[in-house]
Structure 1
């Protein structure tokens, strides 16, 4: 006969609720009671039923995570960071992929709520601020990555996107281009728009013409998209040109397009990407990029969510800076960190 939680409670001389608290590492159980329950579990060889435990404690021990592109190495590493911390805290991940589609995001949020997840982490959501305000009006257990939603009462994990755009323009201007260009990611991406803002501002200060190649709505920023965008740019831009790409995948696709046109990097086209995926250092020529500490981003997002479970906390914005790594695609292999990037900062 299968041993149940009721058997454990009888053996230990405690309530079923107390056994559930011990199983979930609840702090409000004294040491002697906890030891008695654990001894009963050992004697009876009891294996907890996760569903039953969740019903008893009103917890599912699951976290919903929503990402826009499961194939992108950036998101894979952020997810790894989330899962590492979740696993240590005895939580499981329920993952939804949206393919950059805000409608699918809303569907995923509804699905995860129906599954009664204990909290949500949204990575690079494409929802509008107005939609997010409506959906999360009464939901306190939400963390967002790559959007600043503190004004909506949501803890936000972001990077220094505008500064990346400023620095990218400086890197590219050093090669004396006739103009600069930005191969844009999704216009629904806050990171994308902030990078473009910094890039275009610095281009204006440098008195350089700047172009923007923008995808159709909900296009995923992949290697293929980068190749297509560079083809489009080379059909109209005068050389030499300095190109800033929304992410490393697009930059790698752009390098392929440049090679197909028989052009040289960085002599004819210099390129900068963002994310710091492993492939960026292995392509030829190697790619100048802004390395975002992706696992740290995931760790931080999950830890912020766990902190919410323990106490009432105020929403905060955690800024995790990227590190600029200059390689062959801009003509010089060196590494440096800007003075504004030396420490992770928290603004409350």
Structure 2
């Protein structure tokens, strides 16, 4: 039996327009009515004809997501919220993973354009990644050199809090590990953390006591492992890897060398992985709000798809400093 939307509307006792809005998620329908329409649709076995709908609207009802990977919790959490929010409005997510490879990024963009996705949420690798000038693009987590809508974490404020905590605990010799210098996240995190350290040390009159070293590496456990070798012969008082993946590499390197955390070396990092709370005494961390970032990106995309102006083109989402046992007070 070919069940039509008119059948669903009749079964639910509502008008065709109400049934359409309830099933598509677009437009105003109260929750009780929506539940009644969805129950009727399920009872009758109604399925939307996505292809016909796309042809009518001249839309594919899909949004592309281009990310480095789906292993990193940064992208899995944001993507889950993004998909959920888009789904409410009748859009599906098409995901492409590119590592941090500009050539794979170029091919992914080309593929999204060929698929005729209605918009793209993009974690840029190439700072000048090329989209058609009128294409609807929202940048997530990172930003390119092109003036596009962005949703990023407020790392400047969060890493300032982390820097102040580290100085409050008495640490003056600090080792920092960040990602590749060509990526905006690495540049922004490094700049925010170092600027806060220097400003606060000057304010406290301890500038001469402060020593910090910075090592750039790949955003991966292997990158963190390799970067730690730069510090192994001259340990700082605290090591600060500014990503979860880098932190994993640091933990492997310290374990192999018999370096105890926090006994021999304190540790603070950037990230949200659940294991950070349960590893050893718990790892002190600045945690970006990934669900809020995903929801904000969805709002930006849907606003663009509705051809409405964005109230704020560049959104910076606050995170949270979580103090745990790896940054004890120096006695």
Verify same fold: TM over 0.5: yes
Equivalent of 1:295 in 291, 308, 313: 291
| Displacement after TM superposition at 1:212 (Å) | 1.4
Structure 1's 60 and 266: CA in aligned 2 closer, same or farther, altered over 3 A?
same
Aligned-partner Cα distance in 1 for 2:80–2:46: 31
Instruction: Give, in whole Å, the separation in 2 of the partners of 1:331 and 1:249.
Output: 23
Which residue of the partner structure matches residue 251 of structure 2?
255
Following superposition, the deviation at residue 306 of structure 1 comes to: 0.9
2:114 alignment partner in structure 1: 114
Aligned residues: 300
Counterpart CA distance in 1 for 2:125 and 2:232 is: 29
Counterparts of residues 242-281 of structure 1 (less than 5 Å): 242-281=238-277
CA RMSD after TM alignment: 3.2
1:218-269 CA-to-partner distances (Å, cap 9, x unmatched) read x3x223322222233213x2x4422221212322331232232222322432
Aligned to 1:90: 90
Matches within 5 A, 1:2-81: 47-81=47-81
Write the distance in 1 (CA, Å) between the matches of 2:164 and 2:267. Answer: 12
Q: Deviations over 1:121-157 (max 9, x none)?
A: 113x1121xx24x525222x211112346x8452211
Structure 2 portions without partners, runs of 5+: 8-16, 29-37
| 1:225 correspondence with 2:223 | yes
Deviation, structure 1 residue 321: 0.8
Contact 1:144 1:157 in 2 (8 A): yes
Q: Which moved more, 1:153-162 or 1:110-119?
A: 153-162
* Correspondence list, 1:122-137, <5 A: 122-123=122-123, 125-128=124-127, 131-132=128-129, 134-137=130-133
Q: Deviations over 1:31-84 (max 9, x none)?
A: xxxxxxx9xx99x97643322321222111111001112111121101111011
Distance 1:301 1:178 in 2: 38
TM-score, structure 1 normalization? 0.75
Q: Describe the SS at the equivalent of 2:238.
A: strand
C-alpha distance in 2 between matches for 1:198 and 1:252: 22
Distance 1:46 1:266, change over 3 A: closer
Identify if the C-alpha distance between structure 1 residues 260 and 174 changes in structure 2 by more than 3 Å, giving closer, same or farther. farther
Deviation (angstroms), 1:191: 1.9
Q: Which of 330, 335, 338 in structure 1 is aligned with 2:327? A: 330
**2:278 paired residue number:** 282
Structure 2 residue 214 is matched with structure 1 residue 212: yes
Distance 1:242 1:136 in 2: 46
Residue 146 (str. 1) matches residue 144 (str. 2): no
Distance 1:179 1:318 in 2: 34
Task: Find runs of 4+ consecutive structure 1 residues off by over 6 angstroms.
Answer: 1-5
CA–CA separation in structure 2 for the residues paired with 1:26 and 1:232:
55
> CA–CA distance in 1 between the matches of 2:45 and 2:316?
47
- Residues of 1 paired with 2:315 and 2:78: CA distance? 15
Aligned with residue 195 of structure 1, among 184, 189, 196: 189
Per-residue displacement from partner, 1:89-140 (whole Å, max 9, x unpaired)? 12111000011112211211110111011111113x1121xx24x525222x
What residue in structure 2 maps to residue 338 of structure 1? none
What is the rounded CA distance, in whole Å, between the counterparts of 1:260 and 1:276 in structure 2?
A: 24
For residue 183 of structure 1, what is the aligned residue in structure 2?
177
CA distance in 2 between partners of 1:176 and 1:285 (Å): 19
Q: Which runs of 5+ in 1 are unaligned?
A: 9-17, 29-37, 333-348
The CA distance in 2 between the partners of 1:255 and 1:176, in whole Å, is: 22
